[in-house]
């Protein structure tokens, strides 16, 4: 029997072992790569933070709260569904008719109709919307998502912020709770809800794109614009609708879009809820907004001005001039100061200052930090109302287009006794009257009367349409020279009273108020 050489056998055996080793190595590497890929994916997924975990800090080894609910996309979907479900019930469709009376076939009338949205803010039926939505309304119809319809009346409007409050006679209406717009940051998720293009209960989502935008779109000389910008789709009909955070809280009232085609191009704007809440509180209580004023003329701070006054950073708002006798003047502010914060909140643009002051009422004291002569100083400023004599001519000049910065020859500092004169409250009518000052008598071109300091919502005077900031000159045929004359006359009057007032432009107006 022939024998084979041992060396070839050993060679073949060695080659086989090498092949087996290589195969095993390849398999091991594949297994290791697969395990590495799985581990890497797991770590990436584990780092994804769900909406429920927003604001918390955790490590990669921390428990994952979405393990039982599904991955983050499912949790996010659920979150948006919950917000949409909670909020849409409190968003109403507003249909406004103006210019004609309605009839049976066309109950809203012609020739003009306006469509918008509103947000229910109380179970009793108060609804906030944009002032331009209800402007010139002869009839307002509100429709809820459950198809209930109500007739609404205007409680009050504020052209400076483009806000309005209307009221329906409903009970237990679904309410959208207020959130804190001061906590909103660029990049936050937000949801816009409204009725664009006659499509009811439309929900869109996006992020906060910017804060503190000023667009000069509010058609009022004293406009206050400090908009939240969002890329959530907003179209005509969304005006007055809600911008909410992912807790379903109101952080803004949608008011405008930036578009040449009147369709969304990725930029929408909302009035911050902090300003909304301040304005509507006054509108509901008084039918108007009672604002405090600093009494200053302001300019933005640019690089040249910052260098000129020695500011290390380009920030703040430059006080060009101070109205003599104003709140700012009495507190010690000076022309050339740079306001860098109000109430501890930074001020970097004129609209920052305007919106922060607009949240305050007459009599409120605010901490105003300024940069002066290379140092920071803080002043406590007690704000004044527009009905104080020092502001009468100043605001009149602003409204007429005259320069508010030039002290008029007839200017005199306010008389302390005059300023402290108590308002006479007229029971039943819910109005406040002041004695007529010399400055007011000159401004209104009257020699006697009672100045209407305020008109509260819900009173007989408000129902008759009596405005504030006018001079009451006659009740029926009786001449009025003081608030005491009004009180005396009404104590003896029966039935309706014809009230004659003088407006600031010198024209009279008449209102019949029930007794």
Catalytic residues: 132, 162, 239
Distances (CA, A) of 347 to 226, 353, 368, 370: 12, 6, 10, 10
* CA–CA distance, 491 with 104 (Å, rounded to integer): 45
* CA–CA distance, 259 with 133 (Å, rounded to integer): 19
* CA–CA distance, 58 with 139 (Å, rounded to integer): 55
DSSP label at residue 181: G
The phi, psi pair for 394, rounded to 5°, reads -60, -50
Contact 164, 134 (CB under 8 A): yes
As a whole number of Å, the end-to-end CA separation of the chain is 140
* CA–CA distance, 200 with 143 (Å, rounded to integer): 10
Of the candidates 126, 194, 220, the one whose C-alpha atom is nearest the C-alpha of residue 457 is: 126
Residue 260: Cβ-neighbour burial (10 angstroms; 0-12, 13-18, 19+): exposed
Q: What is the CA radius of gyration of the chain?
A: 33
Contact 293, 384 (CB under 8 A): yes
Sequence-distant contacts of 275-279: CB under 8 A, at least 24 apart: 275/161, 275/181, 275/224, 275/226, 275/355, 275/358, 275/359, 276/128, 276/161, 276/163, 276/178, 276/250, 276/252, 277/178, 278/358, 278/359, 279/158, 279/161, 279/163, 279/358
SS3 247: coil
Q: Which positions ≥6 away from 277 have C-beta within 8 Å?
A: 178
Q: Which positions ≥6 away from 304 have C-beta within 8 Å?
A: none
500 DSSP β-pair partners: 474, 510
Q: Which positions ≥6 away from 118 have C-beta within 8 Å?
A: 91, 92, 93, 94, 127, 128, 129, 133, 142, 166, 240, 241
SS3 431: strand
Q: Which positions ≥6 away from 300 have C-beta within 8 Å?
A: 317, 318, 349, 350
Check whether the bond before 111 is cis (ω within 30° of 0).
Answer: yes
* CA–CA distance, 181 with 227 (Å, rounded to integer): 11
Count of helix runs (H) and strand runs (E) in the chain: 12, 25
């Amino acid at each position: 029997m022939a024998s084979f050489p041992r060396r070839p056998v050993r060679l073949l055996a060695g080659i086989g072992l090498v092949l087996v080793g290589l195969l095993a190595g390849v398999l091991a590497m594949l297994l290791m790569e697969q395990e590495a890929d799985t581990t890497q994916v797991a770590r990436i997924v584990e780092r994804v933070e769900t909406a429920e975990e927003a604001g918390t800090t955790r490590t990669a080894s921390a428990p994952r709260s979405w393990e039982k609910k599904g991955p983050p996309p499912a949790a996010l979907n659920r979150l948006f569904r919950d917000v949409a479900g909670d909020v849409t019930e409190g968003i109403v469709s507003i249909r406004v008719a103006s210019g004609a009376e309605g009839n049976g076939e066309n109950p809203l009338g012609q020739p003009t109709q306006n469509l918008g949205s509103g947000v229910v803010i109380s179970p009793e039926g108060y609804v906030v919307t944009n002032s331009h939505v209800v402007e010139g309304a002869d009839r307002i119809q509100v429709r809820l998502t459950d198809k209930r319809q109500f007739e609404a009346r205007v409680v009050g409007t504020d052209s400076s912020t483009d806000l309005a409050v209307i009221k329906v006679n409903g009970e237990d209406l679904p309410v959208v709770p207020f959130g804190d717009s001061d906590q909103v940051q660029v990049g936050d998720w937000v949801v816009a809800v409204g009725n664009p293009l006659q499509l009811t209960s439309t929900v869109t989502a996006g992020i906060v794109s910017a804060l503190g935008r000023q667009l000069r779109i509010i058609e009022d000389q004293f406009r206050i614009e400090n908009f939240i910008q969002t890329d959530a789709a907003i179209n005509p009909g969304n005006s007055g609708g809600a911008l909410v955070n992912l807790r379903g809280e109101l952080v803004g009232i949608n008011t405008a879009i930036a578009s040449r085609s009147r369709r969304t191009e990725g930029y929408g704007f909302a009035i911050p809820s902090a300003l909304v809440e301040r304005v509507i509180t006054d509108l509901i209580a008084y039918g108007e907004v009672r604002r405090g004023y600093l009494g200053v003329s302001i300019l933005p701070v640019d690089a040249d001005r910052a260098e000129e006054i020695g500011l290390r950073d380009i920030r703040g708002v430059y006080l060009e001039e101070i109205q003599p006798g104003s709140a700012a003047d009495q507190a010690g502010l000076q022309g050339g100061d740079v306001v860098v914060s109000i109430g501890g909140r930074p001020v970097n643009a004129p609209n920052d200052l305007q919106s922060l002051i607009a949240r305050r009422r007459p009599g409120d004291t605010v901490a105003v930090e300024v940069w002066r002569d290379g140092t920071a100083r803080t002043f406590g400023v007690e704000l004044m109302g527009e009905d104080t004599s020092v502001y009468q001519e100043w605001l009149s000049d602003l409204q007429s287009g005259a320069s508010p910065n030039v002290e008029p020859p007839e200017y005199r500092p306010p008389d302390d006794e005059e300023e402290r004169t108590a308002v006479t409250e007229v029971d039943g009518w819910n109005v406040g009257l002041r004695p007529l000052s010399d400055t007011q008598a000159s401004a209104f071109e009257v020699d006697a009367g009672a100045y209407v300091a305020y008109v509260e919502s819900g009173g007989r005077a408000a129902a008759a349409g009596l405005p504030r900031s006018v001079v009451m000159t006659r009740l029926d045929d009786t001449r009025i020279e003081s608030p005491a004359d009004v009180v005396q006359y009404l104590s003896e009057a029966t039935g309706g009273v014809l009230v004659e007032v003088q407006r600031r432009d010198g024209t009279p107006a008449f209102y019949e108020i029930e007794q």
